[in-house]
Amino acid sequence: MRLSFVSSLSVAVISLVAFLPFHNVDACSRIFWNSNGTAMLVARNMDLQDYPYIYVMPAGIHRKGEVCPNPAEWTSKYGSVVMGFWGSVHLCDEGINTRGLAFHYLFLGGSEYEARDSRPGVDGAIYGQYLLDNAANVTEALDLMNQTQLVLEPWDPKWHLLPCHIALEDAAGDSAVVEFTGGQMQVYHGSAYTVLTNEPPLNEQLDNLKRYRKFGGSLPWPGNVESEDRFVRASAFLLTLNSQPFSSLHPDLVSRLFSAIRAVSPPFGSIASDGESWPTVWTSLFDLTNKAIYFTDTVAKNNFWLDMGKLNFSPGAPVLYLKAYKTDLFGEVSRLLRPQ
């Protein structure tokens, strides 16, 4: 099967619109719970004020990197389920493939990307899709990132496109955070890198964490909506998840991780120190072990999940989609997916 992509110019223009400074999605958080002994679960909050779509991508799709010159070219080895936005199948913000590899973009202001070199290039809008198409685990994804290049081609110098870091996780519990600072790719690889928010870069977040209780310092856990505060709280709540819950409700693992990621969700009306307001608009949770996606849209007040075992990822199968912002979504929704 061949999926016809829009032209390189169209993809770049869409990327430009999606990542302008007034959509700097500056209140995203990610928690990877890889220490519960049962399932590898990752949850993230998103503050992008748009309508989310879920796309089911089969294997066997031929794609190009949508950059010029020297675009990468590939045929997807693995099927995937991805989150898109702006109503475009070509914008992959996060996703999980059939091998249990997951990918996420989170905003990181001040990112400085590599100068274009001789490696095959992939446009940032579909770079996550490229990794999900071709890598079975975090190590393979990082190898691909060294062999190819995430390329951003600003059409106007005043726009700073796609200032993001990348989070990766897999079904074996491995994790990585990739950032672009000073024109170089910085990689933090290992199962200990389980929390990510926005600014500053990860090394500074980890240094700041040491000032707080449970992490070597004496400060109480902060309660603001700033990225640094959310990083501390997310790290602290992750510590509590493995403790025996003092509840007669006996929450399952998915419910427990949802309780932690919601605790770092900026509410509507909350204002950060820079005067910006970026409330959580939706929350996703991927079960990398059992291949399931859980999702809730804050405004739509829905709460549903998708069993990947019920989907057809075979080459030649159609691309399917679901408007994840619909108000009537609940339970397992694979039956509601429609051809793109």
State the chain's mean pLDDT as an integer: 88
pLDDT of amino acid 275: 72
Give the residue with greater pLDDT, 182 vs 51: 182
pLDDT exceeds 50 at position 23: no
What are the backbone dihedrals phi and psi of residue 96, each rounded to the nearest 5 degrees, phi first? -140, 140
Q: Which two tokens stand for residue 61?
A: 């799709």
For residue 254, the one-letter residue type is V
Q: Which two tokens stand for residue 306?
A: 């998708």
202-209 vs 227-241: helix axis angle to the nearest 10? 60
- State whether the Cα torsion 24-266-128-169 is positive or negative: positive
Average pLDDT over residues 188-216: 97
**Cβ-based neighbour number of residue 155 at 10 Å:** 12
pLDDT of amino acid 159: 37
pLDDT confidence band for 21 (50 / 70 / 90) = very low
Query: What proportion of the chain, given as a percentage, has pLDDT over 70?
Result: 88
Give the residue with greater pLDDT, 220 vs 11: 220
Domain boundaries along the sequence of the chain? 8-197+277-339
With respect to CATH, is domain 8-197+277-339 assigned 2.130.10.10? no
pLDDT of amino acid 26: 65
HEC secondary structure over the chain: CECCCCCHHHHHHHHHHHCCHHHCCCCCEEEEECCCCCCCEEEEEECCCCCCEEEEECCCCEEECCCCCCECEEECCCCEEEEECCCCCCCEEEEEECCCCEEEEEECCCCCCCCCCCCCEEEHHHHHHHHHHHCCCHHHHHHHHHHCEEECCCCCCCCCCCCEEEEEECCCCCEEEEEEECCEEEEEECCCCCEECCCCCHHHHHHHHCCECCCCCCECCCCCCCHHHHHHHHHHHHHHHCCCCCCCCCCCHHHHHHHHHHCCCCCCCCCCCCCCCCCCCEEEEEECCCCEEEEEECCCCCEEEEEHHHCCCCCCCCCEEEECCCCCCEEECHHHCEEC
pLDDT of amino acid 247: 72
Asked, as a colleague might, if the bond just before 120 is cis with ω within 30 of 0, I would say no
What is the C-alpha separation between 331 and 325, in angstroms, rounded? Answer: 14
pLDDT of amino acid 162: 61
For the stretch 135-164, pLDDT in tens is: 999 999 999 999 999 997 654 444 334 689
- Please answer whether residues 39 and 289 qualify as being in contact, where contact means their C-beta atoms are separated by less than 8 angstroms: yes
pLDDT of amino acid 91: 82
For the stretch 100-118, pLDDT in tens is: 999 999 999 888 999 999 9
CA 240 to chain centre: 23
- Please answer whether residues 325 and 51 qualify as being in contact, where contact means their C-beta atoms are separated by less than 8 angstroms: yes
pLDDT of amino acid 20: 38
pLDDT exceeds 80 at position 75: yes
Average pLDDT over residues 72-87: 91
pLDDT of amino acid 3: 41
Average pLDDT over residues 256-278: 86
